[in-house]
Amino acid sequence: MKFSWRYEKEEPRLLKTFLNEQGISRSLLAKIKYQGGWIGINGVEKTVRYVLSYLDEVTVIIPDEGEHETLLPDVTPIDIIFEDEHYLIVNKPVGVASIPAQYHPNGTMANRVKHYYQSQNYPNQVIHVVTRLDRDTTGLMLFAKHGYAHAMMDKELRAGRVTKKYLALVGDDTDKLLPTGKIDFPIKRVETSIIERTVGEDGLPSLTEYWLKKRTKDKALVEVQLHTGRTHQIRVHFAAIGCPLIGDELYGGRMDCGLERQALHCHHLSFYHPFTKECLNIFQEMPDDMQNVHL
């Protein structure tokens, strides 16, 4: 894959420094050097020790990635919401894990995306998962289609410039919910479980923000944004304030609304596209099982 930039500063700069500023890491430079890539200035091959001058054209060719041979393809179709040459956003259904585990090597979104890449004959077939979702959480998942795109999006994530918002149906003491509020309780693992989490003073700092969208006597629809990324954070935080997610049996949620999974859906992804320089806002409506819960 080919990338080009015009150097538009008056002061000289080492090419290696300039490339690092573009998000090209030392490991990616090594890959370019030893795996068939190319770096040139004004059409002439150069090393990273070259010193740039005003209006030099910098060109980098990053070699293709091939595939993860151990990742099995799954022929189940994927629901594509957005795609360009750098990123893929899919709508994850309920009951599907994001990535394989030791005893579940197939059937995940990563397996399905691999088959899609193969069917499209894409030159880069390594699966780069940028944002994950729990098995029973539905909605938008972001994949990078090559390693450089993944590195650039990781940089955006670390800087807090990727917004991911959820819709959740909660029950029980919904009169406690404010029009907008924040839940700020540390979260830790329950000592007797490898899965369950709880709030506790000795836990990790955790912050969840929400906006009340609709409320009835004992149910509510809320929009949620995470400001930290703890395991089960939304589920634990709403249970802690007496409003567990409907269908979330692990955390005491109501099981009488026709849902047997936590009512949680990632409905909004917003991020600055590092290659097209656009701000993308992607939305996905709630799945039928959540829409069928009467509010």
* Residue whose tokens read 């899919």: 90
Pick the catalytic residue: 84, 134, 184, 218?
Answer: 134
Identify the CA nearest to 114 among candidates 148, 149, 65: 65
Strands 207-215 vs 219-226: parallel, antiparallel or unpaired: antiparallel
Point out which residues pair with 283 in neighbouring strands: 268
Active site residue 134: yes
Spatial distance between the Cα atoms of 287 and 60, rounded to a whole number of angstroms? 42
Spatial distance between the Cα atoms of 214 and 224, rounded to a whole number of angstroms? 13
Q: Within a 10 A sphere around the Cβ of 221, how many other Cβ atoms? A: 21
First to last CA, the chain: 50
Query: Which residues are known catalytic residues?
Result: 134
